[in-house]
Amino acid sequence: MRTKWRRDGIFLFLLVLLVIVLLFPVYWTFNSSVSTPQIVLSKNPPLFPLSPGFISYQEIIQRKPVLLWFFNTIYISLGATILSLVCSLLAGYSLSRFKSHGQQLMGYILLLSRMIPGTLLIIPIYMVFSRMKLINTYQALIIMNLEGIIPFATWMMKGFFDSIPRQIEEAANIDGCNWFSSFVRITLPLTLPGVAAITIYSLILCWNEFLYARTLAYNQAKWVFTVGLASFIGEHSVNWNQIMAGGILFILPLIVFFIFLEPFLISGLASGSVKG
């Protein structure tokens, strides 16, 4: 019994230590956002804020269109997430259930397209979108986010579909369901953990995207938050307090998204383990 307690105590200590290490950058960002510029730039800044204040938050909200950047980011992220979720579900199901040499080849080509760096594609993409009159539009940013999400999400969903026995769908077909009806009523509920995982992955990827957003949207009214946050870096000086304050505001919606989706992820895992 003592050995078990000692083992559990060591595990708990290591777990708490890991959480502290992972959350310390977030804490330090908040600490810098509520400190004065002199304290932030000092050689030995204090671990805890000496005279905390929220002047940096007030300044960026008053001087910058933060709410507009939030709206643009949410609109683009949700649009790209919903479209990528629909495409990856259908594509992943197709790769898992309908086997053919050409189809598998297209799946590998889709995966290889994700390995091409964005810096290599940005110039031809800009030229194509310029001819299509899509520069400085939400559509261009959503399309480029889809390009980054769909390949990985498709293969992730393929793995979830592969883990579901085909006999379940065959039984549904015997009862009168066609392939689409069995997919919606039988297979899709069992892949709820994958749907939640892809949703979280897509939101994080869209929320943090900078390269295409900076290149394809030059108008400040179409900026997302990552581009707006980079605008705090001036030519001669950098206001780290405002950057840190903007960083805290930037990660808050992601935390809310994860808290909202986490119960679906856990319930989906439990449901899938029982029904499988």
Beta bridge partners of 233: 238
Residue 126 is assigned to a structural domain of this protein: yes
Q: Are residues 28 and 162 in the same domain?
A: no
Q: Are residues 90 and 133 in the same domain?
A: yes
Tallying the residues shown for the chain, one arrives at 276
Residue 60 is assigned to a structural domain of this protein: no
CATH code of the domain in which 96 resides: 1.10.3720.10
**Is residue 95 packed enough to be buried (19+ CB in 10 Å), middle (13-18) or exposed (0-12)?**
buried
Residue 59 is assigned to a structural domain of this protein: no
pLDDT digits (tens, 9 = 90+) for 142-181: 999 988 888 888 888 888 888 888 888 778 777 777 777 8
Q: Confirm if 146 and 80 have CB atoms less than 8 A apart.
A: yes
- pLDDT-derived band at 264 (thresholds 50, 70, 90) equals low
C-alpha 141/C-alpha 143 separation (Å) is 5
Q: Confirm if 72 and 227 have CB atoms less than 8 A apart.
A: no
From the centroid of its chain, how far is CA 86?
16
Task: Note the pLDDT of residue 273.
Answer: 40
- pLDDT-derived band at 267 (thresholds 50, 70, 90) equals low
Task: Note the pLDDT of residue 111.
Answer: 76
Residue 19 is assigned to a structural domain of this protein: yes
pLDDT digits (tens, 9 = 90+) for 96-149: 877 777 777 777 777 777 778 778 888 899 999 999 998 999 999 999 998 888
Flag whether pLDDT at 71 surpasses 80: yes
DSSP 54: -
Lowest mean pLDDT segment, chosen from 131-135, 140-144, 191-195, 207-211 = 191-195
C-alpha 87/C-alpha 150 separation (Å) is 7
**Residue that terminates a domain, selected from 13, 31, 53:** 53
Flag whether pLDDT at 48 surpasses 50: yes
Q: How many domains does the chain have?
A: 2
Q: Confirm if 192 and 205 have CB atoms less than 8 A apart.
A: no
- pLDDT-derived band at 271 (thresholds 50, 70, 90) equals very low
Percent of the chain past pLDDT 90, that is, above it, reads 14
Flag whether pLDDT at 274 surpasses 50: no
Domain span including residue 34: 1-53
Residue 107 is assigned to a structural domain of this protein: yes
Task: Note the pLDDT of residue 76.
Answer: 93
Residue 217 is assigned to a structural domain of this protein: yes
Task: Note the pLDDT of residue 272.
Answer: 42
Task: Note the pLDDT of residue 265.
Answer: 60
Residue 169 structure tokens: 């769908």
Q: Are residues 19 and 48 in the same domain?
A: yes
Output 209 or 98, whichever has higher pLDDT.
Answer: 209
Q: Are residues 184 and 159 in the same domain?
A: yes
Cβ count within 10 A of residue 53: 13
Q: Are residues 46 and 128 in the same domain?
A: no
Task: Note the pLDDT of residue 18.
Answer: 92
Task: Note the pLDDT of residue 154.
Answer: 87
Q: Confirm if 197 and 177 have CB atoms less than 8 A apart.
A: no
Block residue for tokens 């992601």 = 254
Best-predicted range by mean pLDDT among 29-33, 74-78, 162-166?
A: 74-78
The vertex-124 CA angle with 121 and 125, nearest 5°, equals: 75
Flag whether pLDDT at 3 surpasses 60: yes
Flag whether pLDDT at 270 surpasses 70: no
Q: Which amino acid appears at position 56 of this protein?
A: S
Residue 129 is assigned to a structural domain of this protein: yes
Residue 204 is assigned to a structural domain of this protein: yes
From the centroid of its chain, how far is CA 123?
25
Q: How far apart are the first and last CA of the chain?
A: 35
